[in-house]
Structures are given as structure tokens and as C-alpha cells.
Amino acid sequence: MKKLTVFLIALTVFACTKKKQEEEVVAVIEPVVIQETLTSKLYTLSEKGIDKEVGTITVTDIGEAGIVIEVVGSNLMPGVHGFHIHEKNTLTPTTSADGKVMIAGAAGSHWDPDKTGLHLGPDGNGHRGDLPALTVMEDGTVNAKITSPKIFIKDIPGKSFMIHVGGDNYLDKPTTLGGGGARLYAAPF
């Protein structure tokens, strides 16, 4: 009987120790989150191409929630400006058949990978490059953060962020692409 009691006690201690070791292994595993960030200089644009540096645009990956876009600048034109991602990162001017120069024309149009052909704003189901309008303060500064759930960090390389002269009504009427007009500032990625 003594031998049986000692054997049962030893078996119980072994089982408890083994269970405790298994729990410890599970508790040690923790996920690691790595955020990717891309930054580009923000430039004024002219009929000659890129002019002077006036700020930065930083894009931060937030996983399945999309990206955060941070725009920081100074010496900008005050007011509300249309803000979009354009198809290409080339900011050279182009000339139309009738001789008109388009500032940063080589950047293409609003990024529209789904080929919707619609300018419906950041919450619509049109161009994914449509972003909320930016407001530049009276002193010519901007410090804005925008979250976009429809755009991901992998989408950014090869594109440019464009700030237009005028605001954006998020429609194609009365003028196309929200009525923002000429391209004023850009950050190529």
C-alpha cells in the first residue's frame, strides 16, 4: 500500500508539472505589429515643373483599416483645396494639341484602379484617389491627418498626391473632377 501511495503522488506531481509547462509556452507567444511609413517632399508646381519645397506628406500603414495621410506645409495659398492621389509620380508639364500647358500633366488623372470613371469624393464609390479637401490656414500653414480605408500602403509607390488651386464639390458638375482646377502642389512617391 505504501508503494502504491508513493507511486500515485509521483504521478500527480508529474502531470501537474507537465500541464504547467504547456501553459507557459502558450502564454509566451505575442503578435508583433510593424507599421510601414512612406514620406515625400511637397513641392509647388509651375509650367516649368517642380518649383520649391513647401512641406511633406507622410503615409502610414494601419493594416486592414487603410492608411493615415499626414500633410504638413508652410508658405501655401490659404483656403480650401481639392486633394487627390494621381496615377503617376511624374510631375512634368504636358502640352495639349492646341498648345495649352497642363501643369504636372504627366501625373495623369485621379487614381481610379477600379475604372469607375466617377468623381464621387472620399466616401463615394468612384475614384479611390479622391480624398477629403485640405484647408490651409490664413498664415499659409497646413497640418492635417486624413484616414483612408480604401487605400493601402502598397498602392502608393509610383503615384503622386496633388493639391489643387480650388476646393472640391465631389461631383463632375458643373465642372469635371470636383472643380478644383489647376494643380498647385504635389508630392511624388
pLDDT digits (tens, 9 = 90+) for 41-82: 999 999 999 999 999 999 999 999 999 999 999 999 999 999
pTM of this prediction?
0.77
Residue 55 vs residue 31, higher pLDDT: 55
Q: Where are the beta strands (DSSP E) in 11-110?
A: 37-46, 49-61, 67-73, 79-86, 94-95, 101-102
Residue 18 vs residue 82, higher pLDDT: 82
159, 174 in Cβ contact below 8 A? no
Q: Report how far apart the first and last C-alpha atoms of the chain are (Å, whole number).
A: 80
- Mean pLDDT score of the chain: 82
Of 79, 93, 89, give the one whose Cα is nearest residue 156.
Answer: 89
Q: What is the pLDDT of residue 172?
A: 55
In the block, residue with C-alpha cell 477629403? 132
- The percent of residues above 90 in pLDDT, for the chain, comes to 59
Among 54-63, 82-91, 123-132, 137-146, where is mean pLDDT lowest? 123-132
Q: Give the residue extent of every domain in the chain.
A: 1-30, 37-188
Q: Which three cell numbers stand for residue 103?
A: 501643369
Domain 37-188: state its class.
mainly beta
Q: Which three cell numbers stand for residue 74?
A: 508652410
For residues 118-138, average pLDDT: 83
Give dist(CA 81, CA 49) in Å, integer: 20
